[in-house]
Structure 1
Amino acid sequence: MDTTHPHTHDHHHALHGGDGQAEILDLDAEVLAGHTAAITAWLPLRAHPRHIVDLGCGTGAGTFALLDRFPEAHVTAVDASAEHLRRLHTKACAGGLHERVHTVQADLDEADWPDLGSPDLVWASASMHHMADPERALRTVRETLAPGGLFAVVELAGHPRFLPEDAPEERPGLEERVHAAADRLQARHLPYRGARWGPMLTAAGFTVEGERTLAVDIDGTGSEAVGRYALGILRRIRAAVTRELSPEDLTALDRLLDPEGPHSVLHRDDLNVRTRRTVWAARRT
């Protein structure tokens, strides 16, 4: 822990762990499903993969998108969270997909990874920047992949934005200030967030065969899922940045986060999901 910022560990935990994360991951999967499908369709594969590994699978956004895209494949879903894996397994059973999914609980910051076989495709969405030593992880992925196999790294450009720039009326620009505070905190703990993964993949011995950035701009009008997604993400950020915001901004933010209040994000009709996703496709040669 950085002793000059005694609360930064709590801030980091609030942004990336604890209560509510699984629900947000499920909403992320629902809201961004079309974009995830577009990424799986873009991958420069030489043949449909039979064995896929989903690193940092969460509750299964990538796992189920890949199972849908490649109906002959089975997926090894890897995550450190037993809760996330239980949730993923429950969904797989409900969808009749349990025979095509194998879950593995593992801390990918450990030097020795579990035996993941020799997959044709490894997928890592919003997980690589959490690694303590991503260069080592990249080398391990290369060793794990079958010769000629593909590694897909997908990263979001930070937390999505939801509100118009002039909202809320009493504190215009509030969301950007909230995100700026979160970004400052995350920079202390996630130095690889926003990294240039292309050169890092090349340095690890991969051949980068494609890079694509997709702009996400989803109209949330009338979407209950987008409202709940905004509420969940902004609540988690609020827990982390309490000490970073002015009292006026905190008051305005709390109005947005009160599900019963008239100013709640759940009751707004002007929400949009705005972010960018970049995917790198790298081959083991």
Structure 2
Amino acid sequence: MSADASTRGPAQGQQHHGNGDHGHGGPGHGDHGHAGHGQRTDIDWEAMADTLENAGELRLPLLRTTAARLRELLGPRHDVRRVLDVGSGPGVMTCVLAEEFGDAEAVAVDGTQALLDRTLARAERLGLGSRVGTKLAELPDGLDDGLGRADLVWSSMAVHHLGDQQGALDALAGTLRPGGLLAVAEGGLPMRFLPRDIGVGRPGLQARLDAVQEEWFAIMRAELPGYTPAVDDWPAMLTRAGLAEVTTFTTVLDIPGPLPAPARAHLHAYLSRVRETVAGSLPEDDLSTLDTLLSPTAPEGIAHRADAFLLAPTTVFAGTRASV
């Protein structure tokens, strides 16, 4: 599985696979099958590697803020020796955690070897190679396959790609040493990047994209092996996993227009994946609008619009294992 950071949905390989850099959490690069109404729920995380890494780069300041907040939650007396980034994607957050916890080993756990290779290359470039490791593990089975103990477990946009979310949280919490912290980035509000009326097609395009992505998400969840219906009450799920002092915080990526090239590339990748996965659920006029937004030459396209912005919140839920 690969997940660094992204809101949930067929196109959020980020936000918030993981860490806020995948934004897309995932069950590896496997295929969930094909949903009804022309919707595809298969995700090839290796093919999304550039997109995931770009998403993580965009969020670097927020990822560092998040890592600092996790240190605060652990408290000054907790000696952090080992950190797990579960569903790590290309490892942007893995390296941020290694930087924040300078005496710890940071281990990226993912089901896509190509993304783990990117993690190691990134760590070497940043001078972190001696403290960043990787573990190839498909989730959820990999949760029971020797992850080892940790003082901090981070997982971004990965748990919702597992059929039994509560079981996954139970397993992640079980890896914590006494006083350790489990933090997951999940749920939250959808990304916003265009005004309601963009001068092309009907106003309100983003609201309609939200609706079809919610349908995609429900189908994707229902097709997962071991799917167990559950209310997405993440604090309650962390509490049921045996954690205490459960808390929630949100960071917001806020890039005003005119957007820099990396932000435009991120939005183009997002819209491309929407076009690919949920085309069968959109009316023809909205498909035509999407094609205009994706056009590299159209002045109304996302590559050139002066009114495009990027506003993307990431919500983190965290809880602590009781000290013995």
Q: Normalized against structure 1, the TM-score is what?
A: 0.90
**Could you say which residue in structure 2 is the equivalent of 1:91?**
122
- Matched to 2:269, the amino acid is G
Q: Is 1:32 the equivalent of 2:59?
A: yes
Which of 202, 214, 235 matches 2:251? 214
- C-alpha deviation, 1:112, in angstroms: 5.7
- C-alpha deviation, 1:156, in angstroms: 4.9
What is the SS of the residue equivalent to 2:130? helix
**Could you say which residue in structure 2 is the equivalent of 1:200?**
237
Q: Is 1:244 the equivalent of 2:301?
A: no
5+ long unaligned stretches in structure 1: none
**Could you say which residue in structure 1 is the equivalent of 2:304?**
267
- C-alpha deviation, 1:161, in angstroms: 2.3
More helix by share: 1
What is the SS of the residue equivalent to 1:122? strand
- Matched to 1:45, the amino acid is L
Aligned CA-pair RMSD:
2.4
- C-alpha deviation, 1:141, in angstroms: 1.5
- C-alpha deviation, 1:6, in angstroms: 7.1
Alpha-carbon displacement from aligned partner over 1:38-70 (angstroms, at most 9, x marks no partner)? 221222012352210000001112212212222
Alpha-carbon displacement from aligned partner over 1:164-195 (angstroms, at most 9, x marks no partner)? 12114333222221222122111122368982
Q: Distance in 2 between matches of 1:193 and 1:231?
A: 33
**Could you say which residue in structure 1 is the equivalent of 2:12?**
none
**Could you say which residue in structure 2 is the equivalent of 1:72?**
103
Distance 1:172 1:7, change over 3 A: closer
Alpha-carbon displacement from aligned partner over 1:88-146 (angstroms, at most 9, x marks no partner)? 12211222222111111111221762222211100011111111222222221222111
**Could you say which residue in structure 1 is the equivalent of 2:94?**
63
Alpha-carbon displacement from aligned partner over 1:258-277 (angstroms, at most 9, x marks no partner)? 22333221111222222321
5+ long unaligned stretches in structure 2: 1-31, 223-228
Contact persistence 1:157–1:194 (CA under 8 A): no
Q: Distance in 1 between matches of 2:231 and 2:196?
A: 23
Distance 1:7 1:275, change over 3 A: same
Which of 218, 226, 229 matches 2:266? 229
Contact persistence 2:38–2:280 (CA under 8 A): no
Which of 224, 237, 257 matches 2:294? 257
**Could you say which residue in structure 2 is the equivalent of 1:282?**
319
**Could you say which residue in structure 2 is the equivalent of 1:17?**
44
Q: Distance in 2 between matches of 1:34 and 1:108?
A: 28
Q: Normalized against structure 2, the TM-score is what?
A: 0.79
What is the SS of the residue equivalent to 1:267? coil
Q: Distance in 2 between matches of 1:114 and 1:45?
A: 26
